Amino acid sequence: MEKTDKIRLQKYLAQIGVASRRVAEQLIKEGQVTVNGQPITDMGVRIDPQKDEIEVEGRIIKPQRKRFYVMLNKPKGVITSTADPQKRTIVTDFIRGIEARLYPVGRLDYHSEGLLLLTNDGEFAQQLMHPRFKLPKEYLVKVKGVPSKKAINLLRNGIRLEDGKTQPCWVMVAGDTGKNTWLSITLTEGRNRQIRRMCQAVKYPVMKIKRVRYGNLNLGELAPGEFRPLTAQEVKGLLDFAKEG
C-alpha cells in the first residue's frame, strides 16, 4: 500500500491552530476554505500540508508555531464567535497584543457573561470540549422567584428537555432577596442554552448567568472585557483535570 502524508482538511486546520475541529468543519460547510484555489465543502477531503495551498476566509494559512491560551471575562451582549455578519461586538474584539488568530473554546450565549477560554491550539480545544471528559463548569445564576426544594431537586437530578434528559448536576442556593434567587449550578455537559432551558422547565426563568469556573480555573477578579494569558501550569492543570474528570 502506498504511503501517504495526507491528512483530513478539518484535522489539519485544528492541528495548526486555525480553529477547533468543530469550527473548522463549519467553515468548510460554509465554503470558507479553499485548497489550491478550489472551494471545499466535503468533509472527507485530505490534503498534503507540504504541497497544497490552504486559504481560510481568503487568507493563506500557515502553521503557527507559538500557542496562545487566554481567559476572557466575556461581557453580556457580546457574540461568542470570531465573526458576525451583523457587525456586533465579538469576543475577539477584546483580545489585543496577540499576533495569532484566536477562537473561543465552547460558547457563552449572547446574554451570558463570565469565564471564556480562547486559543489557537485546535487539539487543546478539541480535548476540552470532548463530551467524554465531562469538564465541570460553574455558573452563578439569578432566577426570578424563590425555587422550591422540589424544583432544586429536579434541577439536580436531571430535567427532561426537547433534546433529552439532562445529566445530574450540582445545584446550591447562593442567596436570595426574597423576590429573586442566586443559584450556583455546575454542569458537566454543554447543551445550547442549557441552564436557561432547565430553569424555565421548573418555572423559574433566568435573569442573569455568569460563568465563574471552568475546570480548575476560576474567574477571580478579572473585570468584564479584560483578559489574561494562562500560565503553563494552568494549561497543564486544565488538561490533567479534563483527563481525570
Q: Which residues are catalytic?
A: 109
Q: Return the amino acid letter for 44.
A: G
Would you give the DSSP letter of residue 90?
B
Gap between the Cα atoms of 55 and 38, Å rounded: 9
Gap between the Cα atoms of 92 and 101, Å rounded: 9
Residue ranges of alpha helices (H) inside 158-221 are 194-201
**Residue position matching grid coordinates 460558547:** 107
Please give the angle made by the CA atoms of 195, 103 and 167, to the nearest 5 degrees: 25
CB under 8 Å to 166, separation ≥6 — which residues?
Answer: 158, 159, 160, 189, 191, 194, 198
Encode burial over 36-48: b for 16+ CB neighbours within 10 A, e otherwise. eeeebeeeebebe
